Amino acid sequence: MTMHEPQSQSRAAGAPQTPADVHSRPLCLSGKGVTKVFGVGGKQTLAVDHVDFAFHEGELVSIVGESGSGKTTLAKMLLGLLSVTEGEISFQGKPRDIRTRRAKKEYWKGIQAIFQDPFSSFNVFNKIDTVLLDCIHMTGGRRLPYAEKTRLMEEACSFVNLKFAELTNKYPFELSGGQMQRLMIARVFLLKPKILLADEPTSMIDACSRATILDMLLQLRDEIGMTILFITHDIGLAYYISDSVYIMEHGRFVEHGTADEVICAPKAAYTKRLIGDVPKIYEPWDLSTV
Ligand SMILES: Nc1ncnc2c1ncn2[C@@H]1O[C@H](COP(=O)(O)OP(=O)(O)OP(=O)(O)O)[C@@H](O)[C@H]1O
Ligand SMILES: [Mg+2]
């Protein structure tokens, strides 16, 4: 057996290691010519423009692009929250079929999301224990004794450093943004989806909690082999955590490949410009200029 070589000497020490075989694993989610046009007649916006992609089981893929490049629109199509104008999405190697409510519910057992604005992700009229209980019920735990359900909810909260006892009887809007984001990860912990779509999941929290959240996501990926699609503006962060990177500009993927290929040897001018905005990837910080 040959040893797996570290991908790059330039990758930060302590960065998560790409599993050696990740790109040869079965496809989890893929798409061909996926397109979204908003509006009709003369007032149309081409938000996502014929993108192709192939994400493997257990792969951590970052989608990087500036504001308005189409990242959230693509994420919503992948989730089935927005219709696809053109193109085809496949889930676990088969064309995705979410035409009926029932099929959509089944699909959502396999794909979950954490959004930029966590407040939009919950039904504000449901208390937090209901939010978590729903996850247990969705995964077949409806008939479990209540004590076991409570144990599962406590375990999920403690995974994200929240105290379940302090959350019961609260509504989502009574939490801080950071607590809310951790609650979303607690949901993921309970649902154990095949795919997690994380759209700027750390946007509302400080740098320290941000590292903790990322760490939790990576731990979940290692434990349950989840594919993570991480959507971000931050190409430096994408480099640090990803196996693969897709660069999105004006609704198109202008470049994709392993994190090292795309970021250490970028081909597209747009990628070069994004990298140019974060000199710290290559250079030690010169504090005298800060
Ligand atoms: N519901 C909508 N109706 C019309 N246009 C929309 C709609 N949602 C998004 N758009 C447009 O589609 C384009 C892509 O938007 P999108 O939200 O996908 O960008 P993004 O890459 O997620 O940006 P950000 O980084 O700021 O979150 C933008 O021009 C936006 O104005
Ligand atoms: Mg967005």
Q: What's the CA gap between 40 and 69, in Å, rounded?
A: 20
- If you measure from the C-alpha of residue 244 to the centroid of ligand 1, how many angstroms do you get, rounded to a whole number? 23
The reported pLDDT for the residue numbered 1 is: 32
User: Ligand 1 atom 9: the closest Cα is on which residue?
Assistant: 73
Q: Is 69 in the pocket of ligand 1 (CB under 6 A)?
A: yes
Q: Which fold, 25-289?
A: Rossmann fold (3.40.50)
Compute the distance from residue 251 Cα to the ligand 1 centre, in Å.
9
| Alpha-carbon separation of residue 216 from 31, 79, 219 (angstroms) | 28, 22, 5
**Which ligand has the nearest atom to the CA of 233?**
1
Ligand 1 pocket member 70 (CB < 6 A)? yes
Cα–ligand 1 centroid distance for 93 (angstroms): 28
> Which of 43, 73, 77, 117 is the best mutation target for the ligand 1 pocket, counting ligand atoms within 8 Å of the beta carbon and taking the most?
73
Q: What is the pLDDT of residue 240?
A: 86
The pocket of ion ligand 2, defined by CB under 5 A, consists of: 72
**Phi, psi of 133, deg, nearest 5:** -60, -40
* Blockwise average pLDDT, block size 10, the chain, 290 residues: 38 62 88 96 93 96 94 95 96 93 90 73 79 91 96 94 89 83 89 91 65 84 91 88 95 95 94 80 52
Contact between residue 256 and residue 61 where contact means Cβ atoms under 8 Å apart: no
Domain ranges, ordered by start, for the chain: 25-289
CB of 186 within 8 A of CB of 157? Answer: yes
Task: Name the residue of 69, 79, 85 to mutate for ligand 1: max ligand atoms within 8 A of Cβ.
Answer: 69
Q: Are 75 and 59 in contact (CB under 8 A)?
A: no
